[in-house]
Amino acid sequence: MTLVAFCRKRVTAFAVVALLSSAAPAFAGADAASAAANPQWSQFLDAYREAYFVAQPAFAVTQGRHEFDGQLPDWSAAGIHKQVAWLKAERLKAAAFKDKSLTAEQRFERDYLLARIDTDLFWTDEAAMPFHNPSFYLDGGLEPSVYIARPYATPEVRLKAFIAYLKAVPVATAQIRANLKTPLPKTFVDRGISAFGGYAGFYRDDAPKAFTAVTDPALQADFKAAIEPAAQAMQGIADWLKQEQPKANDNFALGPKKFADMLWKTERVNTPLKQLEAVGKADLARNLASLKEACTQVLPGGTLHACMDKVNADKPQGGAVDGARKQLDALRQFIIDQKLVTIPSTEKALVDEAPVYQRWNFAYIDIPGPYDKGMPSTYYIAPPDPSWPQAEQDAYTPGKNVLLFTSSHEVWPGHFLQFLHSNRSPFQFGQLFVGYAFAEGWAHYSEEMMWEAGLGNHEPAVHVGQLSEALLRNVRFLCAIGMHTQGMKVETCEKMFLEDGFQDAGNARQQAARGTYDPAYLNYTLGKLMIRKLRSDWTATRGGRDAWLAFHDQFLSYGGPPIPLVRAQMLGKDAGSLF
C-alpha cells in the first residue's frame, strides 16, 4: 500500500523539549522474571527482513535501501509461487519460537511477524491477487516516485536508478500480462487502463522534466533510449485491457469466507460479519445524527445535501494544493497547543499535484522509509479527471472545511506524524511493516479526534467538513461488506456514496469502483473504531481527556501492527472487546 503525506512557526524552548520526547512501548507480561532475550530470535528476524528485501526490492527501495535501486520483483508465476512457499516455511520457523523462550518484547515481535506473513499469504495465495487484480502490481512495486521526488542522492545517481527501473519494466509488464487471467472484472479493467496508460504518459512527458538538471549527454541518451520501450510496454497492457473490456464481468467479490479470512489474517479481527456490519451501521447513524444537528445551524430549514453543497462551495483559495499548503502550519500548532500527541522531529511535508498514474483517489501521501534519513514526504492531491463534465470537475475539489480534515488525515496528526513515530520505533520490523488498519485507522481517527479537541472553534461548518470525511469512510465500510459478502452491486454502492456519503458524482464513482479491487478499504472505519474503543478503555483509569497525549504516544510507539495486538499490550491479556 502507498501512503497508499509542517510547521515553520517558532516554538518556545519548553515546547521543543516536549516535542522531541516520545513514549517507549510497554509490554504485557514484562517483569523481572521474564526470560532473557533470545539471540536466535533476533538473528531469525534480521535474516527474514533481509530475505524479504531481496524478494521485494521495490519495497526495499521505498524503505531507503538503495542498493536495490532500479530492481522490480520477480512477478513470473514461478517467482510468485516460490515466494509463497518461502513465506509458509518462514511462518513455521517463527511459530516454533515458543513463549517461554522469548521476552515479552520478543513475543510481541513474533506475533507481529506472524500477522505480517499471514497478510502477504492471504493476498498472494488465498486471494490469488497476482492472477486476478492489477492492483497487486500497481500498488506493489511499479511506483517510481522515489527516484524522482525523493532527493536521497544526486540527480545523476537517481537518474541511473530510474533508467534501471525503466529497463526492468518491459520484463515486468510481460509477467503481469501472462499472470492476469481473463475475463477480469470491469472495474479492474478500467483501473488498469487508466493506471498503465498513465505510466506511459508519465514516462514520456513528465519524467524527463524531473531530470533536466542532469547534463551528462551519455546519461541523457541512455535515459531517452530507455523511456520508449518502457512506455510502449505500459501502453501495451493498457491497450490489451481495452480489448478485454467487452468480455469484462462483475465477478470481483471475495465471498464471505475469504472476506472473514482477510479480516483475521491481515488485521486479527474475528468479529462475525453480521456483528461487524451492525457496528458500521451504528457509526453511520451516529455521524448522520451529528450532521443533521450541524446542518440546522449551517443552513436552517435546508436539506442535508444542500447543507453539504453549501460547505463544499466554500473552496480553498488558489485551489486544493495551495489550500492544503496553507492549512498545515495551523494544524501542527493546534496539536502543540492542545497537547494531543508528541511531534518527535522538526521534519516538514511537501504538498503537490498527484502524478497522472496515481489519480484514482483524491489524496495520498508518499513517506520515506526508515533508512532514508532527512528525506521529505509529499502529500499529493489529484485534480479532477478532465474527461468528466465541467460540473463534476468543479464539484470534485472539496470545500476548505472538508480539505482541512483531508490534511489532518494525511499530515497533522495523521499519516505523516504516525510515520514520524513508527520510523523511530525501537522495533525495526515495526518501522518497516505498518498495517492497513493501523495506518488508515489512525489517520481517520485523527480527523474526529481533532474536531473533538476543538479544531475550528466548534464552528458547525467545520464539523460538517469532518463529518463529510467520516461518512465517506462509513459507506466504504458498508460497501466492502455488502459488495464482497452480500451480492451488492457496484451501482448500489455508488448510490450509497451519493445519498449516505454525500459525495459528488465523480467521487462516488471512484469510491464504489475502489471497493471492488480494494476490499480492505473498510479498514479506515474499522481501525478508527478500534482506536476509539481502546482510548476509552485505556484512559478511563488514567485521567480521561488529560491522558490523551500519553495514550496517543503509547499507541504509536508499537510501529504499526494489527490493532488487537496493541490492545493486548496496553490492556493486558484480558483486553475486552474490540468495538
Average pLDDT, the chain: 92
Instruction: Give me the numbers of helices (H) and strands (E) for the chain, helices first please.
Output: 26, 3
- Residue 79 is predicted with a pLDDT of 98
Q: Above pLDDT 70, what percent of the chain?
A: 95
CA distance 322 to 316: 8
Same structural domain, 274 and 201: no
Q: Return the number of other C-beta atoms located less than 10 Å from residue 348's C-beta.
A: 15
Instruction: Give the tens place of pLDDT for each residue, 268-321.
Output: 999 999 999 999 999 999 999 999 999 999 999 999 999 999 999 999 999 999
Question: b/e per residue, 466-491, with b = 16+ CB within 10 A?
Answer: bbbbbbbbbbbbbbbbbbbbeebebe
Rounded Cα distance, 219 and 160, in Å: 8
**46-50, 83-87, 165-169, 366-370: segment of lowest average pLDDT:** 366-370
Q: Do both 58 and 179 map to the same domain?
A: yes
pLDDT tens-place string over residues 213-263: 999 999 999 999 999 999 999 999 999 999 999 999 999 999 999 999 999
pLDDT in tens, 404-434: 999 999 999 999 999 999 888 887 888 999 9
Indicate whether 276 and 193 sit together in one domain: no
Does residue 292 sit in the same domain as residue 207? no
Would 116 be classed as within a structural domain? no
Q: Is residue 69 a part of any domain in this protein? A: yes
Buried b (16+ CB within 10 A) or exposed e, 395-407: bbbbbbbbbbbbb
* Same structural domain, 239 and 286: no
3-class secondary structure per residue, 406-433: HHHHHCCCCHHHHHHHHCCCCCHHHHHC
Does 168 reside within a domain?
A: yes
C-alpha 376/C-alpha 126 separation (Å) is 36
Structural domain contains residue 132:
yes
- Cell numbers found for residue 222: 541512455
Number of domains forming the structure of the chain: 2
Alpha-helical (H) ranges within 184-255 are: 186-201, 207-210, 217-244
> How far is it, in rounded angstroms, from Cα 21 to Cα 448?
25
Give the model's pLDDT for residue 23: 78
- Give Dmax (Cα) for the chain: 69
Out of 251, 279, 305, a domain closes at 251
Is 20 contained in some domain?
no
Let me know whether 246 and 326 are in one domain. Answer: no
pLDDT bracket for residue 360 (50, 70, 90): low
pLDDT of residue 110 exceeding 80: yes
Q: Are residues 284 and 389 in the same domain?
A: yes
Q: Can you give the pLDDT at residue 556?
A: 97
Q: What is the pLDDT of residues 497-540, one digit of tens each?
A: 999 999 989 889 999 999 999 999 999 999 999 999 999 999 99
pLDDT of 46 above 80: yes
Q: Is 243 in the same domain as 279? A: no
Question: Of 217, 251, 285, which marks where a domain is finished?
Answer: 251
pLDDT value of position 14:
25
226 belongs to a structural domain: yes
Residues 380 and 520 in one domain: yes
- Are 265 and 358 part of one and the same domain? yes
Q: What is the pTM of this model?
A: 0.92
Cα–Cα distance measured from residue 288 to residue 293, given in angstroms and rounded to the nearest whole number: 9
Q: Which residue segment(s) compose the domain that 50 sits in?
A: 39-96+128-251
Residue 539 shares a structural domain with residue 555: yes
User: Is the pLDDT assigned to residue 44 strictly greater than 70?
Assistant: yes
- pLDDT band, residue 485 (cuts 50/70/90): very high
H or E segment and range at residue 483 = helix 460-485
Band the pLDDT of 34: cuts 50, 70, 90: low
| Terminal-residue alpha carbon distance, the chain | 25
| Residue 233 maps to a domain | yes
What confidence score (pLDDT) does residue 1 get? 35
Going by their DSSP bridges, the two strands 349-353 and 363-366 should be labelled as: unpaired
Which residue, 220, 251, 282, sits at the end of a domain?
251
Q: Are residues 263 and 222 in the same domain?
A: no
Identify the band that residue 138 occupies on the pLDDT scale cut at 50, 70 and 90. very high
Given pLDDT bands bounded at 50, 70 and 90, which one contains residue 11? very low
| Residue 18 counted as domain residue | no
